[in-house]
Amino acid sequence: MALLELRNVSKIYHLGGEEIRALDDVSLDIGAGEFVSIIGPSGSGKSTLMHILGCLDTPSHGTVTLDGIQVEKASASELARVRNRKIGFVFQFFNLLPKLNVVQNVELPMIYAGVSGSQRREQALQALEMVELGNRLKNRPSQLSGGQQQRVAIARALVNNPRIIFADEPTGNLDTHTGEVILALFRRLSQEGRTVILVTHNPEIAAVTPRRIEIRNGRIAEKVDARLAGLDRLAASATPAAAVAGA
Amino acid sequence: MIILNSIVIGLKEIWAHKVRSLLTMMGIILGVTSLVGMAAIIKGMENGMKEAMIAMGGVDKVLTRDQQVPAWQDHLADQAPGITLVDVHALKRSAPLIRLVSPEMSLDDVTISRGDKRSDYSECVGVWPSVLEMNLHTLEHGRFFNDLDEEQARPVVVIGTGIRDELFGKPSEVGREIVPLGETIQIDGQPFVIVGMFQEYIGEQEAKERARAKLEAAQGTSKAAAGPKRQRGWGRRGGWAFWRKNYTIYMPLNTAWVRFRSAGRGTGIPDPRLTDMDIKVADFGRMEDAIQQARNVMLLTHQGIEDFTFETQENQIENINKQIRNARMSGGFIAGISLLVGGIGIMNIMLASINERVREIGICKAVGATGPNIFLQILIESAVIAVVGGLMGLVVSELFVELIGVLTPSQNTPMITREAEAVAVGFSALVGVIAGILPAIKAARFSPIEALRYE
């Protein structure tokens, strides 16, 4: 069974009596350890898809299974618990809490997981070491560069050791070079065996992943065969052209 | 865990918006100040009244007062004898429920002098030795009168320290305590020998102050050294009841009669009536019976004419308690309203604050905060603001009470009680929690996506 299973998922919004199908009958499997990008222009429904995949939202129709949990039936508190334990989020605007320093920001998910103080500090330090920010523990987010802030956000996403990392336009607010550093970090996470899902509108960024899921008008327009890409994952991630050729 | 973190975050929020937090807390600060201040004032009143009550002779003392004869005895009014020594002897013999009878014959408007010094005020009374127990006097120097003094109407007096201060000098001014035993003073020109002096009666408040002053003087930190001793406000401190008691001059009852009353001071008519006859009951629990017994005895000696009445301190205590209850109620009401207003201020600011922090709340939810987590966090934040405000209120109320003490000196110095402080802080915490409920519910209901999208 795949880590994430979507079956006939629709998300319908009602805006002033008009029905908007942000997602229209989407079925999708994402296996454990995959490095996937979800790509599409703005308004295509990719954000909605990410919200549903990330348990931030529930579908109007269809079923979502995450690591064996029926998401569409879960209560808000259960969803929060799933997000806390199984998912790490990285956002375009970093979304760090401005009043907390770097370590406290990274500790935040563990507070809600009920981890004890000393263990929290230890795990946060480990996660920050991993993103090479072990020397900026007491800084406020506003005292860090964009790339550093995003690395803090990644540390925060990793700290509860989740199975899935969601990144929503993680390089959108960064310059090209810093963006590459961040993408390299995701690639490393993927190589370490985590499931990484990258949401972007930029095909160049999507090109780093072996598998791409393209969304148009709420439907999956095209996808790269996971098994094909998986055969040559390292090569594919190294040369974007190969991934395209593999399609 | 989450609770501790929420408290820390709450304190950070307060610190991050110092001015706003202070304004928010103002309502609570004022509420706590008025609650604690009011309680302190009432406590001061209560203390003053209780002390005065004891200074006047305690609760088991019953005063016998002259009274106009009832309407139906109007035709007998000219036969009304008034309260005399006959009543005293009768009560002593025939009323076993009465433990102590103390006749008093006071001499109004007498001049107390010694050389060129005079005392403008005095409580000059002819008494029996039973007055000591009746009015709870403590003889510190010399002796009291004996039967011989009484029988021979000797010109001897026992004085309070106030009279000593006026005629011989205050210890604080003279530098040593004068004990004028054996000295002679004039009462309306007649020489009297001082045979005893009472201790100095002071209220608890003043006793404390003096102890403090003494301590400061001993440590050499007294501020008084810099200039003349500053007296707070006007008038005499320490309570009028104590003050009055210190101006006592007692002489044997017979002396007052023979040397003053029998000559008919002022009117030329000898007046054997007592100005006061105080009694103490043997058993406080049988107060009613004792008074009835006294009344029966006295109706006999007065030939049925009811020209007297009894006044118990119980009536007075009841009055005091009633006053205190009323003051407490109105004070509590005012303080309650200010705390309520403070609570509304907090609710208002918390609603504004969560609207500012929609994004932060969204982030917390995205990384795994549940609705109840957020609810608790906002609730605690609100309570933290209120409690911090409450604690600041305690500080302000200390200053406030100090200020009252300086501005309106009275015998009833307000006294802050721990109970009032605990109630005030507890109540502000409660107000904070209640004020936080609505904002907390609102924040807990934010959808994470909406919150994250919010700019």
Q: Which residues contact B301 (CB under 8 A, 6 or more apart)?
A: B81, B86, B87, B90
Higher pLDDT: B228 or A219? It is: A219
Determine how many CB atoms are found less than 10 A away from the CB of residue A96.
25
Q: Which residue, among B94, B31, B104, B121, has the nearest Cα to B300 in the 3D structure? A: B94
**Using CB atoms, which residue from B5, B367, B371 is nearest to A84?**
B367
- Cβ–Cβ below 8 Å for A99 and B16: yes
Asked if A222 and A239 touch (Cβ cutoff 8 Å), the reply is no
Asked if B144 and B181 touch (Cβ cutoff 8 Å), the reply is no
User: Closest Cα of chain A to B392: distance in Å?
Assistant: 24
What strands lie across the sheet with A69-70, from one edge to the other? Answer: A18-30, A4-15, A61-66, A69-70
**What CATH number does residue A187 fall under?**
3.40.50.300
- Cβ–Cβ below 8 Å for A112 and B359: no
The answer to whether B441 contacts chain A (CB < 8 Å) is: no
Whether the pLDDT of residue A228 is over 60: the answer is: no
Q: Which residues contact B166 (CB under 8 A, 6 or more apart)?
A: B112, B117, B118, B119, B120
Mean pLDDT of A40-57: 85
pLDDT value of residue B170:
86
Please provide the distance, in angstroms rounded to a whole number, between the alpha carbons at the two ends of chain B. Answer: 30
| CA–CA distances in Å: residue A187 to residues A55, A213, B36 | 23, 17, 64
- Cβ–Cβ below 8 Å for A112 and B448: no
Among chain A residues, the shortest Cα distance to B2 is held by A111
Read off the pLDDT band of A231 (50, 70, 90).
very low
Whether the pLDDT of residue A32 is over 50: the answer is: yes
Secondary-structure breakdown of chain A: helix, strand, coil percentages, each rounded to the nearest 5 = 40, 25, 30
The answer to whether B209 contacts chain A (CB < 8 Å) is: no
The answer to whether B269 contacts chain A (CB < 8 Å) is: no
pLDDT value of residue B225:
43
Q: How many A×B Cβ pairs under 8 Å? A: 67
Which chain A residues touch B if contact means CB-CB below 8 Å? Answer: 51, 56-57, 76-77, 80-81, 83-85, 89, 91, 95-99, 108-109, 111-114, 116-117, 156, 160
The answer to whether B12 contacts chain A (CB < 8 Å) is: yes
Q: Which of A96, A99, A101, A121 to mutate to test the interface with B (most CBs of B within 10 A)?
A: A99
The answer to whether B5 contacts chain A (CB < 8 Å) is: yes
- Cβ–Cβ below 8 Å for A95 and B372: no
State which amino acid sits at residue A76: A
pLDDT value of residue B152:
92
The answer to whether B264 contacts chain A (CB < 8 Å) is: no
User: Closest Cα of chain B to A113: distance in Å?
Assistant: 8
pLDDT value of residue B1:
60
Q: Which residues of A touch B373 (CB under 8 A)?
A: 80, 112
Mean pLDDT of A226-237: 46
Q: Which residues of B touch A114 (CB under 8 A)?
A: 1-2
- The structural domain count of chain A equals 1
User: Closest Cα of chain A to B373: distance in Å?
Assistant: 8
Q: Which residues contact B32 (CB under 8 A, 6 or more apart)?
A: B335, B339, B389, B390, B392, B393, B394, B396, B397, B424, B425, B428
pLDDT value of residue B232:
41
- Cβ–Cβ below 8 Å for B370 and A111: no
pLDDT value of residue B239:
64
pLDDT value of residue B409:
62
pLDDT value of residue B298:
92
Torsion sign, CA atoms B207, B213, B214, B216 = positive
pLDDT value of residue A238:
46
pLDDT value of residue B205:
67
- d(CA A28, CA A65) in angstroms, rounded, equals 10
Q: Which residue range forms the structural domain that includes residue A141?
A: 4-246
Q: To which H or E segment does residue B92 belong?
A: helix B85-94
**Using CB atoms, which residue from B360, B372, B373 is nearest to A97?**
B360
| CA–CA distances in Å: residue B37 to residues B31, B156, B332, B397 | 10, 49, 10, 6
Q: Each residue of A174-197: pLDDT tens digit?
A: 888 888 888 888 888 888 888 999
Q: Which residues of B touch A108 (CB under 8 A)?
A: 363-364, 367
pLDDT value of residue A242:
42
Alpha-helix residue ranges (DSSP H) falling in chain A: 46-53, 76-86, 102-113, 117-130, 146-158, 176-191, 203-206, 226-231, 233-238, 240-246
Secondary-structure breakdown of chain B: helix, strand, coil percentages, each rounded to the nearest 5 = 60, 15, 25
The secondary structure of A76-132 as a DSSP string is HHHHHHHHHHHEEEE-TT----TTS-HHHHHHHHHHHHT--HHHHHHHHHHHHHHTT
Q: Residues of chain B whose pLDDT is less than 70?
A: 1, 204-205, 220-239, 266, 408-412, 454-455
Read off the pLDDT band of A222 (50, 70, 90).
low
The pairing of strands A219-223 and A69-70 is unpaired
Mean pLDDT of A39-63: 86
Crossing angle for the helix pair B2-16 and B371-407, to the nearest 10 degrees = 50
The answer to whether B372 contacts chain A (CB < 8 Å) is: yes
Among chain A residues, the shortest Cα distance to B372 is held by A77
State which amino acid sits at residue B196: G
- Cβ–Cβ below 8 Å for B371 and A77: yes
Among chain B residues, the shortest Cα distance to A57 is held by B449
Three-state SS for B275?
Answer: coil
